[in-house]
Structure 1
């Protein structure tokens, strides 16, 4: 028995090497380890900055959020007229010259009728030859053909219309009833129209974090704001090659770990806000007997741009800041463990019996 108790000072001295679980290093304003970080379009290794949660931080973040719009694509000018492109089919009607018109007229399947624009943007027409129609409007093509046929016919009158729209298409994927490719026509295709064509969103859709992929860049679109608050700035016009992705809300979870009543993953309701204080409350609060209230962290990966926020909750009024600090999907909330708690856990694991039992016997023997 004496030998067992004599080991205690040695174990306490070497406890740092034996403590199970996790511990944040707070001697530096940077993370203890290097993490993958996106910098200038490339992944590099950096230490993440530890940012104190203060009133100034919350004010700056809320003001930036209110300004909004900065993440939306700048090249979103309204499309006034449809631009003809490869694989579109055009119906060209010349009055008083039926020999120049397509046989069968309106009775032919639109997928086969008319004249198809070639890959190089040209269209062949009798007498005129190859006409460069790619990138031009219907009115511009009408003028080109009229000028070309006027060399052979007097008082040429013709009409041009698009029978089949194939050159400009966008994809709507994810949590919609009918995901797939959508062709664009004379009517500009907005985000709301595209979702409607896809049969609307499913029950599992996260409409607050819709993403638009355009020219190799991702833009976040808040469709919930569009639907419920009339946020017209979110109803962008789609362009050829755009991909609109409606994610699954079931992935929107916050992970609470460390010295809390119950470690768990919390679901963020669609369109709802979850604060740091709400997450801690859902996890049955912070255990002030075993934790370090000054070391409450929010770890945010943020598309390879990691951030670590620290709340010093030694004073109860710091919970006001916690109630104003909004969490994001995939955030990890970690509450640090007090040193004495770590030592007792080690001793409980390695001594023959509980640490409490050993100390009780030592006291009984007068040690």
Structure 2
């Protein structure tokens, strides 16, 4: 009997001293991370252990300042994640806004020129005539030919400037000439709208200014379920700018409604990057018994309470509600947050705690559950020892 007891104690000591018990847990008295993380600052990267920050009302007020600032400023956390996502640095903010100028004619545009009281100089338009056959096409060199005026330069000029030159040249042949110049087909300037819009493709820049909002609306709008409306890219002249559509839609931030120009590429990214990972002791509803899952953020926003709720809530039997953590691997400033939700009142804080893309929410396991797992692992050994010990006791009786 004594030997059996010593053997059981030896097994217990071995199990509790090793990492044989599966799963993760956070040290109950830790106030720092157990590993070092790269932290950026002063143009250098340092390795530091992170302080575990308690989620309080004051901490939430500090975090909400960044969330409510929906425009992607130079220090906005969402912009840092966006840089990480596309693998390069974006230009912080938006391109310099310029006053609208009249449309400048370019190659492949088609002009309609009307000389009043001189129909022989006007190409007649008809019901079955296309714009190409009913107008003057600007050539690739930016010029077009007109009777009695010769070669006229059109590229880079407004219709008023073209009209003035034609009037000057034709007035040598026609007294008190009156003529009009209009663009009947805009074909020289293009903008490309791609990504998570309903009708991606090419959009032509016309005499009416084409803005980000108008371009997206002309493309059928964004795909609400898959578009990342906070991180839209505008590529112009070799530089990539970040645009926050939510700031425009919900906050009326007109600085995000940039006027587009020829060659711009407007890309509405997908929402696959905006995920929250929930690990640990949560309960997934239905027949799905998995204890980890990824959640998509709605319009790039989600609170800690929403993440826990979508994961089925904390497991009342196995979780330690006093030990809920949020791990945030920021590009230059990783952070760890801790919420003590043992009292349901703490869920009010959780409902105000704003998560960021790729945050990891972890619900720790109750200490008693680990002990129960230890017992469950050594139970077969104890049973075997009992059987073996019992067989030894009855063998002498059988021998007699």
State the distance in 1 between where 2:295 and 2:31 align.
33
Q: Give the TM-score taking structure 1 as reference length.
A: 0.70
| 1:123-176 Cα shifts (integer Å, max 9, x gaps) | 133445351522x32223323443455567654533221122123323334454
Between Structure 1 and Structure 2, how many residues are aligned? 344
Whether 1:331 aligns to 2:359 is yes
Contact 1:176 1:205 in 2 (8 A): no
Say if 1:175 and 1:202, in contact at 8 Å, map to a contact too: yes
Map 1:98-177 → 2, pairs under 5 A: 101=122, 103-106=123-126, 108-111=129-132, 113-119=134-140, 122-126=142-146, 127-129=149-151, 131=153, 133-134=155-156, 136-149=157-170, 155-177=176-198
**1:334 to partner: Cα distance:** 1.4
- Offset at residue 258 of structure 1 (A): 1.0
Separation of aligned partners in 2, 1:251 and 1:21: 26
- CA distance in structure 1 between the aligned counterparts of 2:354 and 2:217, rounded to whole angstroms: 31
From 283, 286, 292, the counterpart of 2:311: 283
Cα distance in 1 for partners of 2:371, 2:8 equals: 16
Q: How does 1:146-295 map to 2 (within 5 A)?
A: 146-149=167-170, 155-201=176-222, 204=225, 206=227, 208-209=229-230, 211-215=232-236, 216-222=240-246, 226=249, 231=252, 233=254, 235-240=257-262, 241-245=264-268, 247=270, 253-262=275-284, 263-265=291-293, 270=298, 274-287=302-315, 291=319, 295=323
Larger Rg: 2
Shift of 1:310: 0.8
Deviations 1:271-328 (A, max 9, x none): 69642123224434435775565653334567x6674441241774544322211234
Q: Which runs of 5+ in 1 are unaligned?
A: 362-367
Change (3 A) 1:265 1:14: closer
Q: Cα 1:239–1:51, aligned 2, differ >3 Å: closer, same or farther? A: farther
- Given candidates 63, 66, 85, the residue that maps to 2:65 is 63
- In 2, the alpha carbon distance for the partners of 1:354 and 1:188 equals 79
2:16 alignment partner in structure 1: 12
**Normalised TM-score (structure 2):** 0.65
Alpha-carbon contact 1:138-1:161 (below 8 Å) kept: yes
Q: For residue 256 of structure 1, report the CA deviation from its aligned partner.
A: 1.6
Q: Could you say if the C-alpha distance between residues 68 and 252 of structure 1 is closer, same or farther in structure 2, counting changes exceeding 3 Å?
A: closer
8 Å CA contact 2:71, 2:244 repeated in 1 = no
Report the counterpart of residue 365 of structure 1 in structure 2: none
Structure 1 distance, partners of 2:151, 2:186, is 23
| CA distance in 2: counterparts of 1:314 and 1:142, whole angstroms | 75
Task: Provide the C-alpha distance between the structure 1 equivalents of 2:318 and 2:98, rounded to a whole number of angstroms.
Answer: 58
Structure 1 residues 47 and 117, CA, compared in 2 at 3 Å: closer, same or farther? farther
Q: Give unmatched runs, 5+ long, in structure 2.
A: 74-92, 285-290, 388-400
* Matching residue of 1:364: none
Change (3 A) 1:19 1:129: farther
